[in-house]
Chain A
Amino acid sequence: MIGNAVFRVEGLRKSFGRNEVLGGISLELHSGEVTVLMGANGAGKSTLVKIISGVYERGGGTMTLADLDFAPNTPAEAIRAGVVTVHQNINDGVVADLDVATNLTLDRLSGRGAPTLFNPARVRREAKAVADRMGLAIDLKARVNDLSLADRQMVAIARALAHQPKVLILDEPTSSLSSAEADRLFALVDRLREQGVAILYISHRMSDIRRLADRIVSMRDGVISGVFDTKPLDYEGAVNAMLGRKIHLDQIVARSSAKPVLTVEGLRIAQGARPISLTLGDGEVVAITGLVGVGKTALAETLFGVRKPLAGTMTMNGKPYAPRSAGDAIAAGVFLVAKDRATSGIVGGFNIERNVSLPFLKRMSNLTVLKRRLERATARRQIEELSIVCRSEKDEMSALSGGNQQKVMVARWMAQNAALFILDEPFQGVDISARRDIAAKLRASAHGRATLLFVTELDEALETADRILVMSEHTIVGEHRNAEVDLDRLLAEVAGGPLHSAA
């Protein structure tokens, strides 16, 4: 659009083993412009960033910086060439035990030409110059450990900017900031834009994107699925391009339920969020969808008793339901297949059998002594039920594929009858056939309980649910029966903006 791009990527490819993560990405970044990169989990955003910042080697394609070939072998080379990345994890960018001044000048302490002796006065002088250039108002003598998250992030960015980059990549910089803290970050981004830095801003937060974007690039399954650069920007189009809309082979028959199982009223899960009210019925499968960071996991954890709501009441089968721990929830028949099985589901030291029996040991023991035969029989039954591919119930979890590991997690909680069965991102890192199996099993067994899924991918919701609720900014903003879904309205709700068309 505006003259020449300062940074250009063409036909970038990358595979891990046989798994192609990037399938020919082309991207341009212009000076003095904020380009927002959107993409769901697994779309390949972080791989792209890691190639640009010199962490990964590219599989094919070219990159040019100011019309010169750009091929960094290490992160340090990329920084020296003028492409600087601030990674998502703030603490990777700062040394917590050192003071702000040392952090800001850290990169000058090592490498060729660095002085052998540490000169505090010189460090402070150089740090002050860096801070002034950015308008950073933080006590340079403060220890980074004592700073707030937002201040730490500022230090990390300032440290990156000490190199005077031509291209700055910010990877989900607001994911752990409050809105006031984020405002400070936006002011800084504005300032850098005026100084002519080309910025690649990766985020899921629609509010960030509306505030900052000059252009939006959507990514899906390793390719660019949309570029939006005419004002006013088409935010819904961008979300649509990111979440995609494939043809569903088997349209499901949406059921509705007469008997409510769980009723939630006035539930507030975050400061300043509007309260949530919802009813989940017997036999129905409800999917809650929304972008990353809108509070899906927070809601799942609140229903499961591991997070306290700020306000509101819940009723299970006519009785008040106020779980104070996962144990309470399980006793009340509320089961959760938690997000990210590796950290919050799988017990690595246990085989399949023991992973399956984990939550129900009490029901599988007699005076605390485990009934091993019952345990084995349960595991075998569940392996059969969910068609888990393994040699036997004694297999280690590490021997299973991602899809089968997830099946074990689902099998664990389906071993007993639930009143409310919650699954948080059950299809993440799961191949298509396992995903079909799990979805079919959920629908087939739905009778006698309420089933609630949290998914970011719209396709997953459309494939499995009777009813789809949309979350945005920690509350529920829309409801659709999965029969004739108005996808435009649904996408508008996901994007969190006012409707353009009168619907």
Chain B
Amino acid sequence: MTLRDYAIRYGFIVLLFGLVAYFAIAADGFVSPQSAVFIFQSVAITGVLALGVTATLVVGGFDLSIGSVATSAMMAAAYVMVVLEQNAVVAVVVCLLIGAIVGLINGWLIVYMRVPDLLATLGMMFLLVGLQRIPTEGRSIATGMTMPDGSVANGKFGDAFLALGRHRFDFFIPNLIPVSVVVLLVLAVLIWFFLEYTRFGRMMYAVGSNERAAELAGAPVKAYKIWAYVISGVFASIGGILLAARLGRGDIASGNNLLLDAVAAALIGYAVLGAAKPNAFGTAIGALFVGILLQGLTMMNAPYYTQDFVKGVVLVVALVFTFALSGRGRG
């Protein structure tokens, strides 16, 4: 391997460690279990969404609707518990169903209606952003709110549901690791194993690289594509559940940044280990990279409004790594 190969392969990881080392020296208290957990927690929801969108990137597609699926799931969870007065299990099931159904519709639009992926999921994004506001006429959902018909919603978020956002597991230190971080790690391992070690994952990569070759090798290409969008939808709805559990209400103003952050993490993932292709491990590292950078900058008193700029810079640098340096330029 030449120096250039090494740079492509390990450049991003080296950058990550460099960043950690720099903040460790420059920012007081950066190196602590609490700080580490906080970083993980801050990227947990976008990380889950990013892992889902990775599945669609693998089959050569894209899913712009993940952010709105997550917020729709959040609103649905709140509606089910607060207005319909159901328990946590019903709320979770409803959210997952929404994710799966949206994924199916996305897949159907793209595969059978032949709508280009970006446009189909963009349309779905608009549709969901609007749809989630209709049941409450545009109001956020919280216990005691007045409904459009004048009645008062008396249901409340179940304790079991709120625990998803607030419970912390003991890990050497009592009450250290929040549920959302555990969910992120479990899903990351699952999707990584699925994509790298199962025949379904392998076929999805084949579909993304050469659809016709995959078809002539006997793969049901359409089914694989639709499944990728279902995975993406379900992961996004899990993100929505975590968001609802963290906030404890259905807040129509939250979740604006989810889509862009998740997509950025997945695209940064292309550059990790010189993969030059969507991959679950890279996506997780990508999400972490953004989290560490923001946490470090915050602890060094960088103003909050510089955050998006920093994320953008990281993304552009990562894309240059992927497409220019490795010269493989496959998306």
Contact = CB atoms under 8 A, between A and B. Distances in A.
A344 B198 contact: no
B216 A326 contact: yes
Contacts of A369: 197-199
A343 interface: yes
A359 B208 CA distance: 15
Contacts of A365: 198-199
Interface residues of B, number: 22
Given A325-B220, A358-B206, A347 B199 contact: no
A346 B218 contact: no
A471 B117 CA distance: 41
A112 B277 CA distance: 46
Nearest to A329: B218
Contacts of B277: 349
A368 B196 CA distance: 11
Closest 8 CB pairs of A and B: A349-B209, A361-B199, A359-B217, A327-B218, A330-B218, A358-B217, A365-B199, A368-B198
Contacts of A358: 206, 213-214, 217
B71 to A, nearest CB: 33
A344 B218 CA distance: 12
Contacts of B214: 347, 358
A344 B199 contact: no
A326 B217 contact: yes
5 contacts: A326-B219, A338-B216, A343-B212, A344-B212, A368-B200
A325 B214 CA distance: 12
Contact of B209 (A344, A348, A370): A348
B215 interface: yes
B55 to A, nearest CB: 16
B34 interface: no
Contacts of B218: 325-327, 329-331, 359
Interface residues of A, number: 30
Residue among A361, A369, A412 with the highest chain B CB neighbour number at 10 A: A361
B210 interface: yes
Residue among A344, A347, A370 with the highest chain B CB neighbour number at 10 A: A347
A361 B224 CA distance: 15
Contacts of A344: 210, 212-213, 216
B330 interface: yes
A372 B200 CA distance: 14
A347 B198 contact: no
Residue among B200, B208, B213 with the highest chain A CB neighbour number at 10 A: B213
Contacts of B197: 369-370, 372
A155 interface: no
Contact of A370 (B199, B206, B208, B210): B199
Contacts of A343: 210, 212-213
Interface string B180-223: 00000000000000000111101101101110111111111000
Interface in A133-185: none
A306 B206 CA distance: 18
Contacts of A368: 198-200
B278 to A, nearest CB: 10
Interface of B: 197-200, 202-203, 205-206, 208-210, 212-220, 277, 330
B294 to A, nearest CB: 32
Residue among A346, A358, A365 with the highest chain B CB neighbour number at 10 A: A358
Given A326-B217, A354-B202, A362-B199, A349 B330 contact: yes
Contacts of A412: 217
B216 A350 contact: no
A336 interface: yes
A338 B130 CA distance: 47
Contacts of A326: 215-219
Contact of A349 (B203, B208, B215): B208
B198 A370 contact: yes
Given A344-B213, A358-B213, A350 B206 contact: yes
A361 B201 CA distance: 11
Contacts of A346: 210, 213
Given A330-B217, A343-B213, 19 more contacts: A304-B216, A325-B220, A326-B216, A326-B217, A326-B218, A330-B218, A336-B216, A343-B210, A344-B210, A345-B216, A346-B210, A350-B205, A354-B202, A359-B218, A361-B199, A361-B202, A365-B199, A368-B200, A370-B198
Contacts of A372: 197
Nearest to B330: A349
Contacts of B219: 326-327
B158 to A, nearest CB: 35
Interface in A350-395: 350, 354, 358-359, 361-362, 364-365, 368-370, 372
Contact of A347 (B200, B213, B220): B213
B216 A347 contact: no
Nearest to B198: A368
A503 to B, nearest CB: 39
Nearest to A396: B328
A326 B205 CA distance: 18
B213 A361 contact: no
B198 A306 contact: no
B191 to A, nearest CB: 14
B247 to A, nearest CB: 37
B215 A347 contact: no
Contacts of B215: 306, 326
A329 B212 CA distance: 16
Contact of B213 (A327, A329, A345, A370): A345
Nearest to B210: A347
Contacts of A361: 199, 202-203
A397 to B, nearest CB: 10
A128 B125 CA distance: 47
